[in-house]
Amino acid sequence: MIYIAEVELPKGTLLKGRYVVERSLGSGGFGITYLCMDNVVGEYVAVKEYFPKLAVREGLNLVIPRQYDIQEHYTRVESFLDESKIASKFVDVRIVRQTDSFRENSTAYYVMEYVEGPTLVQFIRSNGPLKAQEAVRIAEEISLGLRSIHDAGFVHGDLKPTNVILKNERAVKITDFGGASLRDSFFMPLHAGVVSLHYSAPERFVRCIMPTAQSDIYSLGGVLFFLVSGLDPVPAPDRLKGIAMADPPTNYRLRRVIRKAMAMAMSDRYQDILQLIRALRKRLF
């Protein structure tokens, strides 16, 4: 039995008899995303593979570490596929479209549209912080995407600058629904226990507290903070310890929006995404 150290699928690998791997687009703690050619429609797509840390390959097959519980592994594979099912429910040009999912190589995959463009992190690192008007325009587009998610009865749960792609420097695409869950539900998604240090709301750091619409609003406030400053906001756990978050370098009216969106108490934030959208539109100047 030979295990290979290289975890990424080699170029030319054929998945489901139609998706040909071109290269890796990136990886995280739960998976690897590939650029693939869809031989059926003749277009590039992005294919995400469930591949947890410490896993290895035997040929193309995923082999889980010995310390993993086999039943837990299968549960996580199901949750990974649930991520695709959740994302496929959203019909909005601001949300990356999911098109397919399948099992293969002892793991699972889902397919989504391939969007060319930098993440917000990549864009800000290359171009520097944005002026207030442009930051508000992008934040409003993200808000409208979140509205579609919330109206469908879900929350994103892991909104941050790396999960928003900027297409043609104008349109936004929200991606990565590993933290998504039904609102007012006890359903525990794959990434429910994973938080983003600088962008997750304080309640997310409390064990078993599921994300809410107010959690997404806090995260969006953090994204807006990043857009105008180029810096990550102070983590919520540090703020709970009394470490103050400095106001970002922007005008007073926009600072007020960011402060309210990122209020530590859920009741002090905008109570739904429409309130935040209205506040942003008042500050388009």
Which residue from 35, 54, 59 is spatially nearest to 45, judged by alpha carbons?
A: 35
Torsion of CA 226, 228, 231, 236, to 10 degrees: -50
For helices 273-282 and 252-261, give the axis angle rounded to 10 degrees: 170
Which residue from 187, 21, 6 is spatially nearest to 104, judged by alpha carbons?
A: 21
| Annotation marks residue 158 as catalytic | yes
The two three-digit tokens of residue 216, written as one number:
């997404």
Catalytic residue among 38, 100, 158, 216: 158
Q: How many beta carbons lie within 10 A of that of residue 93, not counting itself? A: 13
Residues carrying an active site annotation: 158
